Amino acid sequence: MKPLASIIIPVYNKAAYIRETLDSALVQSYTNFEIVLVNDGSTDGSLSILQEYADRFPAIVRLINSENRGVSAATNLGIQAASGDYIQFLDADDLMSSDKIERQIQLLSGKGSATIATCEWVNFKDDIHHYRRVLCGVFRDFDSGLDLLLRFWNHQEMMAISSYLTHRDLIQKAGPWDESLTINQDGEFFCRILLKAKEVLFEPKGMVYYRKPGQDNVSQQKSEKAARSLLDSVKSYEKSVLEVEDSIRVRLALKKVYQKYVYDIFPNYRGLLIEARSRMGALGVKENTYIGGPKFQFMSRFLGFENALRLKRFIG
């Protein structure tokens, strides 16, 4: 028997995109899959679209209707309802190539549940035929999930969550999504997943299409609540990773994560900046570390990180 793959899609006010997302899931060449839709209290007509698909494909699509509690709570509901051996998370406005799941399951065949699969993700706005590739060093195999995490943190790279295919056992070991977070919930969750993963295998032909966020999403990410949540997620990184390996290479990478946090919110939210700097100092890393683009790194080498931040702010 082929393993069952569960595609979990939390949905909140994505009526403009959810049909396209569902269609990309339904045309997967891998045939043993289910789709678990979780409506997170949408108010824009998304629910009627989800109900339409549940009615059209009752053997494949399961719909859960919930009050609005946020993406983490909705995703946790989806995990609880899913029956699959493998879990495919899919954002409600992102798309997958039709061979994505099949190729990754082939790649994972014969591997234990602690092996996780990834694939390339690309940016698009409206048309997937006009996508932009992202030059990332994460598009390869890694000997461990920790090695992939350190690549993320040292080079400010990321993996779209839809790129992963994860065994249910790995998710059960890592624990649920943190429902207290309002931003970077996926990064914090997959930090814990990767710390349990013994191997990361990259599938080079399947693809995920990551839709660029709209301006409303970007503005919401700049609020003080979002900044607090982001810092809480970084603190969770620190706690989780140091329990697995407390080493110079890990602390150097964590210092860069805190630097990137300060870089992103400076000069706002003074209390959060003080807390982030304090935690960065407590890591005990004496070596200079540099983040940001080439110009900012150049300024940091000559002026120091904090002075480079001030200059960047001054010149806009």
pLDDT in tens, 134-172: 989 999 999 999 999 999 999 999 999 999 999 999 999
Residue 154: per-residue pLDDT? 97
Query: Higher model confidence: residue 126 or residue 188?
Result: 188
**Domain co-membership, 55 together with 157:** yes
Residue 221: per-residue pLDDT? 67
Provide mean pLDDT across the span 33-58. Answer: 97
In whole numbers, what is the pLDDT of the chain averaged over residues? 95
pLDDT tens digits along 242-291:
999 999 999 999 999 999 999 999 999 999 999 999 999 999 999 999 99
Residue 76: per-residue pLDDT? 98
Residue 127: per-residue pLDDT? 86
**Domain co-membership, 38 together with 131:** yes
Number of structural domains, the chain? 2
Residue 1: per-residue pLDDT? 81
pLDDT confidence tier of residue 126, bands split at 50, 70 and 90? confident
**Domain co-membership, 185 together with 255:** no
**3-state SS, one letter per residue, for the chain:** CCCCEEEEEEECCCCCCHHHHHHHHHCCCCCCEEEEEEEECCCCCHHHHHHHHHHHCCCCEEEEEECCCCHHHHHHHHHHHCCCCEEEECCCCCEECCCHHHHHHHHHCCCCCCEEEEEEEEEECCCCCCCEECCCCCCCCECCHHHHHHHHHHHCCCCCHHHCEEEHHHHHHHCCCCCCCCCCHHHHHHHHHHHHCCEEEEEEEEEEEEECCCHHHHHHCCCHHHHHHHHHHHHHHHHHHHHHCCCHHHHHHHHHHHHHHHHHHCCCCHHHHHHHHHHHHHCCCCCCCCCCCHHHHHHHHHHCHHHHHHHHHHHC
Residue 207: per-residue pLDDT? 96
At which of 145, 178, 212 does a domain end?
A: 212
* Domain encompassing residue 144: 5-212
Residue 105: per-residue pLDDT? 98
- Whether 219 shows a pLDDT value over 60: the answer reads no
- Whether 218 shows a pLDDT value over 50: the answer reads no
**Domain co-membership, 154 together with 63:** yes
Residue 40 sits in a domain whose CATH number is 3.90.550.10
**Domain co-membership, 39 together with 169:** yes
Q: What is the pTM of this model?
A: 0.94
Residue 6: per-residue pLDDT? 98
**Domain co-membership, 154 together with 291:** no
